[in-house]
Chains A and B, each alone.
Chain A
Amino acid sequence: EAGVAQSPRYKIIEKRQSVAFWCNPISGHATLYWYQQILGQGPKLLIQFQNNGVVDDSQLPKDRFSAERLKGVDSTLKIQPAKLEDSAVYLCASSPLRDTRTTNYGYTFGSGTRLTVV
């Protein structure tokens, strides 16, 4: 089974520039999550999709961050304009809608995108 794919792996941009990240979840996984992990901290949920609908975006800074999952498969996360404090690793994860067989709800992370804003 292929894992969660993310690109790019690394990105360095200047503040006030725009950036976009892409995530392709595990095939058949209905739920997709974007997390922000600042150095020294745990992952913080930015947005959760179920199919192509938003379940939770309460911690997404909507003035500069946006995300979409138009066809209920892959997703993009955009930051416009970026600030220095957006420097972090952006992790994408996916899980099946309901899978009581697996011991972690099939929750699988991608390798992340490390963003540096200078």
Chain B
Amino acid sequence: EDKVVQSPLSLVVHEGDTVTLNCSYEVTNFRSLLWYKQEKKAPTFLFMLTSSGIEKKSGRLSSILDKKELSSILNITATQTGDSAIYLCAVRHAGKSTFGDGTTLTVKP
């Protein structure tokens, strides 16, 4: 059965901290891994990763894929209260996407 597992389930940090979120997967016919940020209802796209070892970066956020370990990490440096959200990992495979259950990040002032 296709599976995407995220850890930790939740995380509470203070502004300025650096956090690392994890996503591991077991799927058939892997195509790509995507990270989304979900604040209210609609997930918004952050990154798509297809190649191992190539870091994608956007401001304070960065992500990298390790196909050997079947995993990815999402790093957020110098966290702000606006980073509080659920971070979802999704794996595209065999023409569909399977989502993990997300990591709920709370950033306290």
Contact = CB atoms under 8 A, between A and B. Distances in A.
Given A48-B96, A55-B95, A42 B42 contact: no
A22 to B, nearest CB: 16
Contacts, number: 49
Given A91-B42, A110-B42, A111-B40, A43 B88 contact: yes
Contact of B101 (A35, A41, A105, A109): A41
Given A55-B95, A89-B41, A109-B43, A42 B88 contact: yes
Given A42-B88, A55-B95, A56-B95, A114 B41 contact: yes
Contacts of B90: 42
Interface residues of B, number: 22
Interface residues of A, number: 22
B42 A104 contact: no
Interface in B21-46: 34, 40-45
Contact of A105 (B6, B47, B92, B100): B92
Most buried by A among B42, B48, B95, B99: B42
A25 interface: no
A104 B6 CA distance: 20
A92 B58 CA distance: 26
Nearest to A89: B41
A109 B97 contact: no
B42 to A, nearest CB: 4
A111 B97 contact: no
A44 interface: yes
A50 to B, nearest CB: 9
Contacts of A40: 101
Contacts of A56: 95-96
Contact of A43 (B43, B45, B47): B43
A13 B55 CA distance: 46
Interface centre among B34, B44, B95, B97 (most CB of A within 10 A): B97
